[in-house]
Amino acid sequence: MDEIKEIKKNSSELIIKNHMIWSMGAGFIPVPLLDFAAISYIQLDMIRQLAKLYEVDFKETEGKAIITSLTSAGLAKAGAARAIKFIPVIGSYLGGVATAVLSGASTYAIGEAFKRHFDKGGTFLDIDLNSLKKMYMDKFEKGKDIAEDFSKAQKEKEHIVEEVEKKRENLKTTDEIIIKLKELGELKEQGVITKEEFSKMKSKLLEF
């Protein structure tokens, strides 16, 4: 029995984590309202998967209504981020970053609230909305921290990838220079170029 509970716990955490990440990705959609529609779909799908995991009869209409009710506070915070998106180019990026974190936090909080309700044997028919809202708000701030940490980790990974790519380019450039230096050395040995010409060409090659 404990093993089954542990499997459900691990599975529910995975479902929540994956949907939180997908919500953050949707937060970068540059078109206001389109990002909201995508995030809402992701959150509803998360509830559907949690309901299936806990063997609860899924109610789509009720699920949508509960998501709207729970996220009203989160939407107020995300509203400013969406407004920024209307600013050309830079606004889309800045708004996307802010919306991504808030969307991830909201999805995490919704998932945790439903997970707790279903884990206690609850269904869509006996949901206490006030209790669910309290759980949502309690988990929202933790969700922000998790989303921000994930965002930072992704940036660090991207930075590492960029550094590796730069090193590869430098290595490629170094290899090319070595080959050219060898060719110049051979030309000097063959008398095609003078020692002075060799020195000048070598200096130019090493100016990188």
Mean pLDDT of 164-183: 64
Mean pLDDT of 106-121: 93
| pLDDT band at 156; cut points 50, 70, 90 | low
pLDDT of residue 36: 73
Q: What is the DSSP letter of 3?
A: H
CA pair distance 40, 127, nearest whole angstrom: 20
Tokens of 162: 């960029």
CA pair distance 56, 58, nearest whole angstrom: 6
What does the buried/exposed string (b/e) look like for 72-107 if buried means 16 or more CB atoms within 10 Å of the residue's CB?
A: eebeebbeebbebbeeeeeebeebbbbbbbbbbbbb
Q: Choose from 3-12, 56-65, 94-103, 189-198 the range with maximum mean pLDDT.
A: 56-65
DSSP string, 96-161: HHHHHHHHHHHHHHHHHHHHHHHHTT--GGG--HHHHHHHHHHHHHHHHHHHHHHHHHHHHHHHHH
Give per-residue pLDDT as tens, 24-71.
887 665 545 556 778 888 999 999 999 999 999 999 999 999 988 887
- Of 15-19, 76-80, 92-96, 127-131, the poorest mean pLDDT is in 92-96
pTM score: 0.63
